[in-house]
Chain A
């Protein structure tokens, strides 16, 4: 299940303690900047519950692939009603009632426990669809995103599937879901660097603390970007200084940028100065990655 180490390619996850901080804007603008600088870039949207990167990158989608997760399929003609499958399942996804086996595929974690334990070999694995992966291209950027089916509670397998599609581009910019729970962990683990996007407000700070704790628990390198840096107070900056967290970029609250965003346009398209800023951001990230033991 682990992604093999890539030959020299870098994976950068863009995350935030909560949504709406401009995470997707940062990820797409970074991808666009790198691409225009001649890197081979893949943008991967792992925010599968609300994938929004496509709105800005507007890729031409050229392939759609359904993603499933393994679930049990019981051959009732072989089942002896012993109930061992129901006993082993920790998720109530398979239950044996009065000798009759019932499955609830939407609860299944695909652990194979029931298959392994069944004395009659009555259970085999089938697939249940949880979403799809769409791939495409926009200018020089490879585009991949996962789209979770509405009402589906299981996002981790889809995120894993998106990450498995990453190949040998120079840089993968991975848009993570907001928060600090499983889907985020699934997204950021085994990346080379995590960019945390926040706002200089009390809510922003409180969410940033959680995100930093998460990244540190995973032993990954990180840096912070403050979006709408001119609103709010100095809490986030003080925290970064105190925690020795590199502040890599500050983006001002610009009506022009906000309007471009609301139209689904990328900031680097309307404000060329930002392109320079993102190029500088990239240099600082690379320096951080190549320096050892600074986190």
Chain B
């Protein structure tokens, strides 16, 4: 299964970016094999409005089943839900650690947005 973890840089030891829409990187990890590919989300960083929406579409195009991040806003959440992607929030530390947190099932499965939208 492929998941995307939001990150501030493009490696496994990079810090998790707590923001979804404005994360600089998505690290796409196949949790069965451990293979990973960093995917830039930079073009969304400076989007005025709708960064979460575009990032959500981006994640859907990557074909991931789940997104692991710190927080998710209402617009991004609606998009991800429509795409059938689970959103796991509260990830902390590095991408590697977040992968473990995900596997261990300690992250919260978002039932709704946990932060206000607006460029969050």
User: Chain A's interface: helix, strand, loop or mixed, by majority?
Assistant: loop
Cβ-defined partner of A97 (8 Å) among B50, B75, B82, B118: B82
Q: Does A98 contact B (CB under 8 A)?
A: yes
Nearest chain B residue, comparing its CB with the CB of A101: B82
Pairwise interchain contact B82-A104, C-beta atoms closer than 8 A? no
A-B interface contact total, Cβ < 8 Å: 33
Chain B nearest CB from A109 CB (Å) reads 10
The docked-state distance in angstroms from the alpha carbon of A98 to that of B57 is 10
The docked-state distance in angstroms from the alpha carbon of A224 to that of B113 is 48
The docked-state distance in angstroms from the alpha carbon of A98 to that of B85 is 12
Contacts of B78 in A (CB 8 A): 102, 104
Nearest chain B residue, comparing its CB with the CB of A94: B53
Q: Does A32 contact B (CB under 8 A)?
A: no
Pairwise interchain contact B49-A95, C-beta atoms closer than 8 A? no
Pairwise interchain contact B53-A92, C-beta atoms closer than 8 A? yes
Pairwise interchain contact B49-A97, C-beta atoms closer than 8 A? no
Chain B nearest CB from A14 CB (Å) reads 29
Interface residue tally on A, bucketed by range: 10 to 19
Q: Does A91 contact B (CB under 8 A)?
A: yes
Contact (A95, B53) CB under 8 Å given A100-B82, A104-B75: yes
Those of B49-72 within 8 Å (CB) of chain A: 49-50, 53-54, 56-57, 60
Contacts of A93 in B (CB 8 A): 50
Contacts of A104 in B (CB 8 A): 50, 53, 75, 78
Q: Does B79 contact A (CB under 8 A)?
A: yes
Pairwise interchain contact B82-A98, C-beta atoms closer than 8 A? yes
Chain A nearest CB from B55 CB (Å) reads 10
Contacts of B82 in A (CB 8 A): 97-98, 100, 102
Cβ-defined partner of A91 (8 Å) among B49, B56, B84, B118: B49
Contacts of A91 in B (CB 8 A): 49-50
Q: Does A107 contact B (CB under 8 A)?
A: yes
Contact (A98, B83) CB under 8 Å given A92-B50, A107-B50: yes
Pairwise interchain contact B49-A92, C-beta atoms closer than 8 A? yes
Nearest chain A residue, comparing its CB with the CB of B49: A107
The docked-state distance in angstroms from the alpha carbon of A100 to that of B81 is 11
Pairwise interchain contact A98-B49, C-beta atoms closer than 8 A? no
Q: Contact string, A78-120, partner B, CB cutoff 8 A, digits 1/0? A: 0000000000000111010110101010010000000000000
The docked-state distance in angstroms from the alpha carbon of A91 to that of B54 is 10
Q: Would you mind naming 12 contact pairs between A and B with Cβ atoms under 8 Å apart?
A: A91-B50, A92-B49, A95-B53, A97-B60, A97-B79, A97-B82, A102-B79, A102-B82, A104-B53, A107-B49, A107-B50, A153-B49
| Chain A residues at the B interface, C-beta cutoff of 8 Å | 91-93, 95, 97-98, 100, 102, 104, 107, 153
* Extra contacts besides A92-B50, A102-B78 (17): CB < 8 Å: A91-B49, A91-B50, A92-B49, A92-B53, A95-B53, A95-B57, A95-B79, A97-B56, A97-B57, A97-B60, A97-B79, A97-B82, A97-B83, A98-B84, A102-B82, A104-B78, A107-B49
